[in-house]
Each structure stands twice: as C-alpha cells, then as structure tokens.
Amino acid sequence: MIFSAIDRLIGYAEAHLALPARDKIYARNTLLMLLGAAGYERSGAEYAGEPVSELLADLISSAVGEGLVSEEEAERTADAVMGALMLPPSAVEAKFSELYERSPAAATEWLYDYSVKADYVKKQKLDANPRFTGKNGLIVTVNKAKPEFRDPKRAVSGNSVKGGYPKCSICRENEGYHARAKRTLRTVSMTFGDEKWFWQFSPYGYFRQHGIAVNERHIPMHVDAETFYRLMDFVDCFPHYFIGCNAPLPRIGGSVLAHDHFQGGGERLPLFHASVKIGLHYDGYTASAGVLDWFGTAIRVTGEDRAEVAALSEIIRKGWVSYRDEARGLIPEDSEGAHHAVSPTVVKTENGYEMHLILRSNITSEQYPDGVFHAHPEFHIIKKESIGLIEAQGLFILPGRLEQQLGEVKKALIAGMLPSELADFQLVYDEIAAKGRLRDDAEAEAMMREELASICERILQNTAVFATAEDTAKFLKELGFHA
C-alpha cells in the first residue's frame, strides 16, 4: 500500500533527515507528485526504526505494483524521493559550517552520516564487500557494491560528456540533477588559495569516508607545484583526512581525467605506515626526503614548513617527469606524449606534513601493450584495470566477479583438481596447491587471502619504476639530495 510506505518514509525523514514538521505536508505532496499519485489517505502507519533501504524498497515496489512507476524508472524515482526529503544544499552547507567551527571531524562525520541516512552513500552494500589485510600489510577488498548500468537511458545520459549537461560526472552541476540520479548528492564548499573547490562523498567508497575534492572549474587534471599547496590546504582544513591526486595520465590515473580533482578520506592507507629505507637531505632545507620500504616506487617528503615540503616535492616531480634511462624503459616523453607522472598524497602527523610521491610511468611496449609498469598479464585474471592512486597506496579493489570465481577455485583446491573451465586461475591454484593439500573451507579461505595479498604485492612491484630503494636514492642524489 503506497500511502503506508509514504507515511513511514516521512516519519523517517523527520527522525533522520532533519525534515521540519512545518514542511511535512509539502514534502508528502512532493512525493505524490514524483510518484504520479493523485489523492492521499492517511494510512496510520508509522516509522518504526526500519532501515532506509527497506522503506524505500517498499515505496518503490508499491509504486511499481500500482503501475505508477515503471521498472526502468524505479532507481531514479527512489533517488528523487530521497532528494525531496533532504535538506537543500544551502542548509546542508550551513549545518556543516556550524559543526566545522566546533571540529572539522564533527562536520565530516555529520555529512557522511547524513549521506548514509539519505541513501546516497550505499553503506549497507559497502559493508557487505569482503575486505581483509594480508600479512604483507596490503588491504584487499572485492567490490560487489557498484552496480552495472541497467537503465540504458541513464547509461547514455551518464556517460555523455561532449556538449552535455553537466560537462562530466563530477562537475558541481550534478548536485540534484535527476537525469544522473544525483538528487541526493550534497556537496560542501571550500577555498584553496584563491580557488573555489568542493567536497563530496563517494556513494560506493572503497575505504572509511571516501570522497573527492573537486575544482569548481571543469579543467583537466594536472599535478604541478601548486598541487602540493592545494593538497596541504586540504589537510590544514581537514587534518583527520588524507588527500591525494591521481597521476594525470591515461592508464595509470583516475577515470575522470577531464576534471581536476583529488581523492581522500578518513583512513590511513598502508603506504602511510611504510618505513623510510633511505633517508636523504637537501642543503638549506629542514624538510627531508625518504625512499620508502614499499613495493612500488615511493618517496616521502616530511616537514613542518609548507613552502619547504612543496619545494622539495616539486624538485622531485620535475626530476621525474624529465628522467630518462632508455635501458630500463624509462622514457619521459615520445611521439605518444608524456609518460612520466607523480601521484602525490599527503597526510598530517606529529612530524608535520608527510607528502608521498609515487613515481609512475604509463609507457607501453610490444611485450606489455597494457603498460610496462602495469599489472603484468599473468595477474590480469585478478586485476586488469589501471592501478590508480588508491591501489598504489596499498588498498586493492578487485572486481566483484572474483567472489564467485575464487569460491570455485577454493572448492577445486579442496578436491585436489582444477577443472578446465577455471584454467585462467592456474597460477592461483598452483601457488596455493604447492603449499600442500587443503583440508577444509576455512583453510582454503585463509590460503586464498594470502595468495591474493601476495599477487597484489607483485602487481605493485610491476608498477615500480625503480627496481630497488638504492636505485630510487640514486635518482634523488642526481637531483641534489644527499645522505
């Protein structure tokens, strides 16, 4: 019964979305309009603590059942209904600013929680994603939450960029845009230097309070001297978050290269815990640089002085984007364009700013058409997509299909034979089987986790542009750093 579903959802909005009592009738009438329902009868049903996903599912299935909404429109209607029950962006921003004065963490905590309650952040689905930490410290998660595009109309509108509105999927004009099912998106403004930016959470985040900081202007991703200041501006505002920028090149960067943005959130990723293997200094600076004990090639610039951290980071960035060692396949630029880029990511600690610079190359070869410093082909069955900023920091997001496929491999391991339809997993099977026959599912699961963490470690080694810490230190010494 649709009126009962409406009444319960209105009650929910009063309890959790700050819907004022004064606006209750108006909100209900908005829902009737969105659902295409004429008339209303009080059902007597009340909100009784059900999760929002359940209330929304009840409403939408009633609306579909009564022929008011088509299956194709279901998802977008659900989004529109929740958007109508939420505070408008100005009120969200006012509340955020008020809390920020008390504590930045309280402000982000509230916005995240509000986004979960509005069903914008799909927390329930995210919590259902398998996730574990391997003995090597790498975090592995299987992303079952992110749905495939089912509604062809939405897929078309969501993917069109050329001449479209908004220009891309992260432009601020998405806030409340129904055609991309962004009625529940709320963003908050921030200023870095003299640039206007904004923050929004990711509906399908990969770690605690995962979000993006986005330039208000739709300009291409880039990393330059200013970027280091922008990143430090961000952690000055939100010292409990880390923030990083993908390498602005295809194959090794993010999926939205057309629009300047950073990624961050409330978790300390494995890279931040890596120890310094070779510490180096630079004359005239109190800030220092350290080659990290890490699987990829990563350098940490540490210091309390923003200008120093930015200056040393820029020396390293400039050095890397022009570094040439053809014998090792390190070619900064050729007829295809630039191949070298730095992916910076910063966190504030008791040592000041810790700016991590991950050196990347997107060059390809005949042997490695997907990238020389990309996951090599024997690992593509586990991970073929580009190794972006989050993975380069030690948090791997593996495709959802693996849950079922690896379940089959585990069964095969216990049975002692790999069926031919799982031949793609021969490497995984052989490496685990070599450690001895498995007795039960728990043992197979534990072995499988370590195998995945080990493969992720080898993938990161594939991305390393310098084979050893000593080689990385040699590169830094050529730039003027010394022990």
State the nearest-atom distance from the C-beta of 216 to Zn ion, in Å. 10
Report the residue number, 26 or 165, with the smaller CB distance to Zn ion. 165
Alpha helix stretches (DSSP H) within 279-400: 306-321, 389-392
Total residues in contact with Zn ion, by rule CB under 5 A? 5
Query: Which of 117, 180, 186, 259: binder of Zn ion (CB under 5 A)?
Result: 259
Which residues have C-beta within 8 Å of that of residue 148, sequence separation ≥ 6? none
State the nearest-atom distance from the C-beta of 294 to Zn ion, in Å. 32
Q: Does residue 214 touch Zn ion according to CB under 5 A? A: no
- Longest C-alpha distance within the chain, in Å? 78
- Sheet containing 261-265: which strands, arranged edge to edge? 188-192, 195-201, 211-215, 261-265, 242-244, 340-349, 352-361, 298-303, 288-292, 276-280
Report the residue number, 167 or 306, with the smaller CB distance to Zn ion. 167
Residue type, 292: L
Report the residue number, 216 or 443, with the smaller CB distance to Zn ion. 216
Distance separating alpha carbons of residues 312 and 303, to the nearest angstrom: 10
DSSP H or E stretch at residue 82: helix 74-85
Token pair 């004022």: residue: 20
Task: Considering only the stretches 162-170, 236-244, 403-411, 435-443, report the one whose residues sit in contact with Zn ion under the rule CB under 5 A.
Answer: 162-170
Task: Considering only the stretches 166-174, 196-204, 440-448, 471-479, report the one whose residues sit in contact with Zn ion under the rule CB under 5 A.
Answer: 166-174
Task: Considering only the stretches 16-24, 58-66, 171-179, 332-340, report the one whose residues sit in contact with Zn ion under the rule CB under 5 A.
Answer: 171-179
Distance separating alpha carbons of residues 399 and 385, to the nearest angstrom: 9
State the nearest-atom distance from the C-beta of 259 to Zn ion, in Å. 4
Whether the CB-CB separation of 356 and 271 falls below 8 Å is answered with yes
Report the residue number, 259 or 317, with the smaller CB distance to Zn ion. 259
**CA-closest candidate to residue 187, choices 129, 280, 291, 112:** 112
Q: Does residue 218 touch Zn ion according to CB under 5 A? A: yes
Q: Does residue 167 touch Zn ion according to CB under 5 A? A: yes
Task: Considering only the stretches 57-65, 97-105, 252-260, 447-455, report the one whose residues sit in contact with Zn ion under the rule CB under 5 A.
Answer: 252-260
State the nearest-atom distance from the C-beta of 52 to Zn ion, in Å. 29
Whether the CB-CB separation of 217 and 258 falls below 8 Å is answered with no
The pairing of strands 139-143 and 395-399 is: parallel
Alpha helix stretches (DSSP H) within 375-417: 389-392, 401-415
Report the residue number, 10 or 171, with the smaller CB distance to Zn ion. 171
Distance separating alpha carbons of residues 192 and 226, to the nearest angstrom: 10
Task: Considering only the stretches 99-107, 216-224, 266-274, 341-349, report the one whose residues sit in contact with Zn ion under the rule CB under 5 A.
Answer: 216-224
Report the residue number, 167 or 281, with the smaller CB distance to Zn ion. 167
Report the residue number, 102 or 162, with the smaller CB distance to Zn ion. 162
Whether the CB-CB separation of 284 and 260 falls below 8 Å is answered with no
Report the residue number, 217 or 435, with the smaller CB distance to Zn ion. 217
End-to-end CA distance of the chain: 74
Residue type, 34: L
State the nearest-atom distance from the C-beta of 163 to Zn ion, in Å. 13
Residue type, 390: I
Token pair 């922008």: residue: 230
State the nearest-atom distance from the C-beta of 255 to Zn ion, in Å. 12
User: Which value, to the nearest 10 degrees, does the dihedral of the CA atoms of residues 449, 454, 459, 462 take?
Assistant: 180
State the nearest-atom distance from the C-beta of 159 to Zn ion, in Å. 13
Report the residue number, 166 or 290, with the smaller CB distance to Zn ion. 166
Which residues have C-beta within 8 Å of that of residue 220, sequence separation ≥ 6? 248, 257, 258, 259, 260
Query: Which of 139, 171, 232, 310: binder of Zn ion (CB under 5 A)?
Result: 171
State the nearest-atom distance from the C-beta of 213 to Zn ion, in Å. 13
Query: Which of 32, 168, 179, 422: binder of Zn ion (CB under 5 A)?
Result: 168
State the nearest-atom distance from the C-beta of 137 to Zn ion, in Å. 35
Task: Considering only the stretches 74-82, 258-266, 356-364, 387-395, report the one whose residues sit in contact with Zn ion under the rule CB under 5 A.
Answer: 258-266
Q: Is the dihedral of CA 212, 213, 215, 221 positive or negative?
A: negative
Task: Considering only the stretches 253-261, 335-343, 432-440, 470-478, report the one whose residues sit in contact with Zn ion under the rule CB under 5 A.
Answer: 253-261
Cα–Cα distances in angstroms (integers) from residue 98 to residues 92, 106, 213, 350, in the given order: 10, 10, 20, 27
State the nearest-atom distance from the C-beta of 122 to Zn ion, in Å. 23
Task: Considering only the stretches 75-83, 114-122, 254-262, 321-329, report the one whose residues sit in contact with Zn ion under the rule CB under 5 A.
Answer: 254-262
Distance separating alpha carbons of residues 196 and 213, to the nearest angstrom: 10
State the nearest-atom distance from the C-beta of 452 to Zn ion, in Å. 35
Report the residue number, 218 or 281, with the smaller CB distance to Zn ion. 218
Binding site for Zn ion (CB under 5 A): 167-168, 171, 218, 259
